[in-house]
Chain A
Amino acid sequence: MAQIDSWLKSSISDLIRENRVRVWCATGADGKLVGFYSLCAHQVEPEAAPVLAGRRRTAIPTVYLTALAVDGACQRQGIGGALMAHAIEKAIEVSDQIGAAALVLDVLRDEQFKRRKAFYLNLGFAETEPGGDRLYLTMNDARTALLAAT
Chain B
Amino acid sequence: MAFHQPPAAFIPFTETFRLPRTYDIRIYAGYHDEESMMIQMENSIAAVMEAKDRRKELKMQPSVHAAIEIAAKTVGMDSSTFIVSAAYRAARDVEASQARTVVAPELFDAFAAAVDRPGRRNEALEALFRRRRDILAGA
Contacts and interface: CB of A to CB of B under 8 A. Distances in A.
Contacts of B125: 88, 123-124, 137, 141-142, 145, 149
A44 B139 CA distance: 29
A145 to B, nearest CB: 4
Interface stretch (B31-39, B61-69, B73-81, B105-113): B105-113
A41 to B, nearest CB: 8
Interface stretch (B16-24, B49-57, B128-136): B128-136
B102 interface: yes
Contact of A104 (B101, B102, B121, B139): B101
20 contacts: A43-B100, A44-B102, A45-B101, A45-B108, A51-B105, A57-B108, A62-B101, A78-B135, A79-B135, A81-B135, A84-B128, A85-B132, A124-B120, A128-B101, A136-B111, A140-B118, A141-B119, A145-B119, A145-B121, A148-B126
Interface residues of B, number: 33
